[in-house]
Amino acid sequence: MIHPTAIVDPKSEIGDEVEIGPYSIVKEGAVIGQGTKVGPHVVIGEEAQIGKGCRIFQFASVGEAPQALAYKGEKTTLVMGDRNIVRECVTLNRGTVQGGGKTVIGNDNLFMAYSHVAHDCYVGNQVVLANGASLAGHIIVEDYAIIGGLVGVHQFCRIGTHAFIAGITGIVQDIPPYTLASGSRAKLFGLNLVGLKRFKFPETTVRALKKAYRIIFRSKLTLEKAIKQIQEDDIYQLPEVQYLLQFIQQSKRGITR
């Protein structure tokens, strides 16, 4: 159902059972998937692609122009998967040519009120951005990460899978997977044990990650020696430990410690 006060461009594509509320605007080239509900006073930007079963609340802006000085009106897009919840006053910007032209959001994510995803970000699946959390441009947030309220993440950072970032934290370097970060300039405070338990990680995996964490972040070894020690240990057989090391070795901004 499309409310009579909504403005829907004829060159947009609206799926079956889509609801578009009063005074909402859907711009040229936008695609809205089956069963998605768009509340009142929402703006869906040009070329935005929104999947099935999403819920977009009032005053949200999805797929509008990026807040980047380099952007000169080129055709870019935002691609959002299925079953995402976008709460009040959230802003999700499309990409820039310089960053590949696309902001990508996966499935089953929750964007709480006033959170922000800037241009050219990649957000995985089952991610939570709490109220007022903000991602600058070119950020990667991996699956199952939770970003607390009023967190600010610097551009080009990467947030690892199952990481938890406490509220009012400033992120300027990568956050390793499975870890807990907090502080005005983020520091690590061990593993995200609550999250690992919630997702039923085996106790053997948790113990192995704890050992790897101690070797990397709490011993006096250099990073190179710490990685070598883990690779020579039985815990290296576990894929989660391998991924932790891979994430750290591939970091471009450096790792929060």
- Predicted confidence (pLDDT) per residue in 184-217, tens digit: 999 999 999 999 999 999 999 999 999 999 999 9
pTM of the model: 0.97
**Distance from C-alpha of 112 to C-alpha of 156, rounded to nearest angstrom:** 22
Task: Give 80's strand partners.
Answer: 50, 105
The yes or no reply on domain 7-195 and CATH 2.160.10.10 is yes
Looking at residue 110, what DSSP letter applies? E
The residue among 22, 18, 20, 19 whose CA lies nearest residue 5 is 22
- Which of the residues are catalytic? 119-120, 137
Show pLDDT as tens, one digit a residue, over the chain (257 residues): 999 999 999 999 999 999 999 999 999 999 999 999 999 999 999 999 999 999 999 999 999 999 999 999 999 999 999 999 999 999 999 999 999 999 999 999 999 999 999 999 999 999 999 999 999 999 999 999 999 999 999 999 999 999 999 999 999 999 999 999 999 999 999 999 999 999 999 999 999 999 999 999 999 999 999 999 999 999 999 999 999 999 999 999 999 99
Structure tokens at 26: 């859907």
Tell me if 180 sits within 8 A of 252, measured CB to CB.
no
Using a CB cutoff of 8 Å and minimum separation of 24, what contacts does 218-221 make?
Answer: none
- Domain locations in the chain as residue ranges: 7-195, 201-250
Helix (H) or strand (E) holding 225: helix 223-231
Residue 144: predicted pLDDT:
98
Q: Domain spanning 201-250 has what CATH number?
A: 1.20.1180.10
In the chain, helix, strand, coil percent, each to 5?
A: 20, 25, 55
